[in-house]
Amino acid sequence: MDETGQFFRALPNKSLSQASGNCTGGKRSKERLTCAVFVNASGDKEKPIIIGKSANPQCFRGVSDRATLPCKYFSQPKAWMESDILTEILRKLNAQLRREKRTIVLLIDNAPCHPEDLNDKFPQIKIVFLPKNTTSRLQPLDLGIIQTFKLKYYKRLLTHVVNKVDDCSTASAVCKSVDFLQAITWTAMAWNDVPKSTV
């Protein structure tokens, strides 16, 4: 399991013709969400977990049942993972594993939001923390899986920009039209598109 930040309205800041700088045609969007993902050694993936800033985003008004969302949604004022959210996620995962009569080993890094006392709380989950300062070399999700997922998200965002280019004066204006519900739908679709062979 690992988390990654997603600037869901931000265009790439590089192109083939321009190394960096004013490639986006304006100020880069800083609106973000956090996406937490689970994978296993056989290449299977769990539904992504999205953490946003608002407990009740306006774009959820038309959603009668949050269980129909393509992800599991949590909120935190800065859209960051925190220990209470992780505990709730693991509590639900533990209940699912109990129903399935399964036990797992969960590899996670030593981020401050991953308290060490979690290990004794969930009988179906044995938590193993990666050694400190080795995440970039040992965390399987950091070794290409998250990068593949983000590329698939940005492919959807850029396709949206190209389709809307006639309606707006700049690409940044198109990106501002992406609402949070659209972003989490694309996030879930991008995660589903990560091939089993990559995992």
* Token pair 């008004």: residue: 61
> Looking at residue 193, what is its pLDDT?
95
Q: What is the pLDDT of residue 28?
A: 57
pLDDT greater than 80 at residue 4:
yes
- What is the per-residue pLDDT across 54-66, written as a single tens digit (0 to 9) for each? 888 888 887 777 7
27 in Cβ contact with 168 (< 8 Å): no
Cβ atoms of 97 and 103 closer than 8 Å: yes
Helices 180-193 and 145-164: crossing angle, nearest 10°? 130
Position 119 pLDDT exceeds 70? yes
Where residue 20 falls among pLDDT bands split at 50, 70, 90? very low
Q: What is the 3-state secondary structure (H, E, C) of 28-96?
A: CCCCCEEEEECECCCCCECCCEEEECCCCCHHHCCCCCHHHCCCEEEECCCCCCCHHHHHHHHHHHHHH
